[in-house]
Structure 1
Amino acid sequence: MTIFTEKVIAVIRAIPEGKVMTYGQIAKCAGSTRGARQVVRILHSLSQKHRLPWHRVINAKGEIAIADPESYELQSFLLRAEGVEIEKDKYVCLERYQFFPDGDPGF
């Protein structure tokens, strides 16, 4: 496992219940400003093995980006169960629910 992958896993694990982070934000926190697609790959391949809260990761527009209808519904259900409001069936208000590990939105 690469250092980047280990950092991504740690960042995702740190997202608290009721909060979300974006793929790009996670990549940046893990040390790669251009690693958003790698975060997607890591989530896809390692979420189950590492019991990651994958449902707390959304795209930069605040959208649930999963194309598979069943997985989309599951992510939406899990976020709502944590108190996250979903607008227009796919949008999360980043201003309200986005998590910043160091507390600074400018990180």
Structure 2
Amino acid sequence: MPAAPEEPLDAPDEYAAEVLGLVRRIPSGRAMTYGLVAEIVGEKLGRGGPRQVGNVMAGSGDRYAHLVPDGAVVIGPVQDDHAVPWWRVVNASGAPPARHVTAALDALRAEGCPLSRDGRRVDLRRAVWFPQDDGGVEGRRDDRVV
């Protein structure tokens, strides 16, 4: 018997699913900004911004956990039961979330992500990841940092 069709997601869950799906594709040792994630998701859905991405990321472990595939595992050296590599999303200056700065920087260092000279921020010029239009093969690099 065929599986029952899934119910369509409401608008907040649809947005969260897109954000989490994109963040899960960020390769180990690379990073994206909240703004870049928002821009890419916004191109597809026509809504959202960096603050909405931050809200989704803040709820990725509980509120939106139902949107992450069962058995999902982060690829890279930091796999402590995280289904979403939250530490790979930083603000426009490359700083990780203030409440989790130590854990995020430890995870980024473990993955070999390029950091600033003082080690407190991601060096976005070297680490930013842009997904390709062809389904997410490791991204291009250019001078744009969002």
Quickly name the TM-score band, shorter chain normalised.
0.7 to 0.9
Report the counterpart of residue 81 of structure 1 in structure 2: 110
Q: 1:22 to 1:96 in 2, by over 3 A?
A: same
1:99 and 2:129 are equivalent in the alignment? yes
Report the counterpart of residue 56 of structure 2 in structure 1: 42
1:62 and 2:94 are equivalent in the alignment? yes
| TM-score, normalised by the number of residues in structure 2 | 0.63
| Distance in 2, Cα, partners of 1:36 & 1:18 | 21
**More helix by percentage:** 1
1:22 and 2:53 are equivalent in the alignment? no
Aligned residues: 103
Is the contact made by 2:114 and 2:126 (CA closer than 8 Å) also made in structure 1?
A: no
Structure 2: gaps spanning 5 or more residues: 1-8, 69-82, 133-138
| Distance in 2, Cα, partners of 1:100 & 1:86 | 18
| Distance in 2, Cα, partners of 1:94 & 1:85 | 8
Q: CA deviation at 1:47?
A: 3.5
Deviating above 3 A after TM superposition, structure 1's stretches of 4 or more consecutive aligned residues are 103-106
Q: 1:34 to 1:5 in 2, by over 3 A?
A: closer
Structure 1: gaps spanning 5 or more residues: none
Aligned residues: CA RMSD? 2.0
Identity value in percent? 33
Q: 1:33 to 1:62 in 2, by over 3 A?
A: farther
| Distance in 2, Cα, partners of 1:85 & 1:39 | 23
